[in-house]
Amino acid sequence: MKRTNIKIREMEIDDLSKVFHLGENLFKVENFPNMYRTWDPYEVVGLFNSDTEFCLVAELSDEIIGFALGTTIEKSHSAWKYGYMVWLGIKPEFQRTGVAEKLFRRFKDIMLKSNVRMLLVDTQSENIPALRFFRKLGFGQPQEHIYLTMNVAAEKQAMKKKSKVQPATRKGSVKKNDN
């Protein structure tokens, strides 16, 4: 495959479904069980609707083989504008071929034109290939982020089981154990 055949362009409305399905194949819970963000159509559509200029696709022979979705963040009382690459996904057969780097470089150029002073990315600490990739591109100062999860559905299920095992008793009807 020649890298020159890969076209990086702004995502279009007709790309939404293709990008979503590619991400659905890439960001599976089996592969990324601790993702605090989940891949869903609402996030893809939301980023596209609010920040179209920061949503890019990599195309080869009219086939979408990768994407980068991002946004900017401005904080009150700060002169800085931040760019945030929220998602970067490449079809497995095109990983480690330069596609992700081409997408990132275009993304970075767009961010610079938008007066962004700092770019942010995040990934799981166990995702060594992603960490190497981002470090190679010049990202540094990694900060570990701790997040906690609670399976409220499992907790609710346990409470239901517990209430079935312990029947309700009336005052004075509890039998004492003489042992």
If DSSP states are collapsed to H, E and C, what string results for 38-81?
CCCHHHHHHHHHHCHHHEEEEEECCEEEEEEEEEEEECCCCCCE
SS3 177: coil
Identify whether the C-beta of residue 66 lies closer than 8 Å to the C-beta of residue 133: no
Instruction: Identify whether 174 is part of a domain.
Output: no
Amino acid at 53: E
Q: Is residue 177 part of a domain?
A: no
110: domain CATH number? 3.40.630.30
Q: What is the pLDDT of residues 126-162, one digit of tens each?
A: 888 888 999 999 998 877 777 666 788 877 787 887 7
Q: What is the pLDDT, as a whole number, of residue 128?
A: 86
Q: Domain of residue 91: give its range.
A: 3-165
Q: Residue 122 domain-assigned?
A: yes
Domain count, the chain: 1
For 1, other C-beta atoms within 10 Å of its C-beta total 13
Asked if the structure places residue 55 within a domain, the reply is yes
The predicted pLDDT at position 1 comes to 47
Query: What are the average pLDDT values for consecutive 10-residue runs of the chain, which has 179 residues?
Result: 78 96 86 67 91 96 96 89 94 94 96 94 84 91 73 80 65 52
Say how far residue 156 (Cα) sits from the centre of its chain.
28
Q: What pLDDT score was predicted for residue 3?
A: 53
- With respect to residue 108, please indicate whether it lies within any of the assigned structural domains: yes
Smallest CA-to-CA distance from 115 within 154, 68, 80 is with 80
Q: What is the model's pLDDT at position 168?
A: 57
The pTM of this model reads 0.76
Q: How many CB atoms lie within 10 A of CB 39?
A: 19
